[in-house]
């Protein structure tokens, strides 16, 4: 059986997602290169899951590129995130436990990536980077809060902690507490020119955390 790949342009890069494997993706500056890297990304994903005690059989068969969506700006200053047909089906109740395990795995990797960084390293500005590592952590938490807000599930923005580690913990705890509600979110929501669903929120959360964990690991070579 063929498996589906959906590609989107994000901040001048292409990300090819495998919807049947939440959090599995390949990325590159070139669209075709990102798509061609998917088979290797699937192998890496299966090994990653195994390393976290998750049993995933992987996918075989030909790849079908179902959708390719270029980025576009809403009101000139906000890049709209792609909404794929694969994002539309509601999350099923029996998927919640798997999602929880995947979120635990991505957070474990992130925590390991920053565990031994002192305050100087966390706050060090690096040429060509938008944020220091602490800023990346704050960005991850803020984005996760934003995803929940699209579904009307976020707490007040004023209650977001300033400390990036506390912010990460607070938002993730809220997401985990909200997981049982997601199967009841059957429709989609369009806000600010962008369409969201519960499945899209989980897809982006897993992708975003894995992507920035890899980013931080690359930055560590410049922090030594």
CATH number at residue 69: 3.30.2390.10
* Pair 48, 95 in one domain: no
19, 54, 83: which is the final residue of a domain? 83
Q: Which residue has the tokens 């602490």?
A: 134
pLDDT of residue 59: 84
* Pair 79, 92 in one domain: no
pLDDT of residue 192: 87
Strand-pairing partners, residue 15, are 8, 27
Please give the Cα distance from 24 to 178 (Å, whole number): 23
Please give the Cα distance from 83 to 191 (Å, whole number): 12
pLDDT of residue 110: 98
pLDDT of residue 224: 76
Supply the DSSP string of 123-188, one letter for each residue.
H---TT-SS-HHHHHHHHHHHHHHHHHHTT----GGG--SSHHHHHHHHHHHHHHHGGGGGG--S-
Please give the Cα distance from 52 to 45 (Å, whole number): 11
pLDDT of residue 205: 98
Residues near 12 by beta carbon (within 8 Å), at least 6 away in sequence? 29
* Pair 67, 138 in one domain: no
Tally the domains of the chain.
2
pLDDT of residue 76: 76
pLDDT of residue 1: 81
pLDDT of residue 162: 97
pLDDT of residue 56: 86
Structural domain including 186 reads: 88-224
* Pair 92, 192 in one domain: yes
Ranges of residues in the chain with a pLDDT under 50 are none
Q: Torsion angle, CA of 29/33/38/44, rounded to 10 degrees?
A: -70
Q: By C-alpha distance, which of 112, 17, 20 is closest to 59?
A: 20
Supply the DSSP string of 97-120, one letter for each residue.
HHHHHHHHHHHHHHHHHHTT--HH
pLDDT of residue 75: 80
pLDDT of residue 27: 98
**Residue 156 structure tokens:** 């007040």
């Amino acid at each position: 059986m063929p498996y589906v790949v959906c590609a989107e342009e994000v901040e001048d890069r292409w990300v090819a997602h495998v919807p049947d494997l939440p959090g599995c993706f390949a990325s590159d500056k070139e669209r075709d290169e990102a798509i061609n890297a998917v088979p290797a990304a699937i192998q890496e994903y299966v090994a990653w899951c195994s390393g976290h005690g998750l049993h995933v059989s992987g996918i075989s068969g030909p790849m079908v590129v179902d959708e390719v969506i270029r980025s576009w700006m809403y009101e000139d200053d906000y890049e709209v995130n792609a909404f794929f047909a694969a994002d539309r089906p509601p999350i099923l109740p029996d998927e919640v436990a798997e999602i929880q395990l995947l979120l635990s795995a991505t957070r474990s990797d992130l925590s390991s990536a920053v565990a031994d960084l002192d305050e100087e390293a966390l706050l060090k500005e690096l040429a060509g980077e938008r944020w220091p590592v602490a800023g990346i952590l704050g960005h991850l938490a803020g984005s996760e809060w934003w995803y929940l807000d699209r579904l009307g599930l976020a707490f007040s923005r004023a209650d977001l902690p300033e400390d990036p580690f506390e912010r990460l913990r607070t938002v993730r705890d809220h997401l985990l507490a909200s997981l049982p509600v997601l199967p009841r979110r059957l429709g989609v929501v369009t806000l600010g020119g962008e369409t969201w669903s519960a499945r899209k929120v989980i897809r982006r959360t897993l992708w975003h955390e894995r992507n920035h964990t890899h980013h931080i690991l690359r930055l560590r070579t410049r922090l030594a």
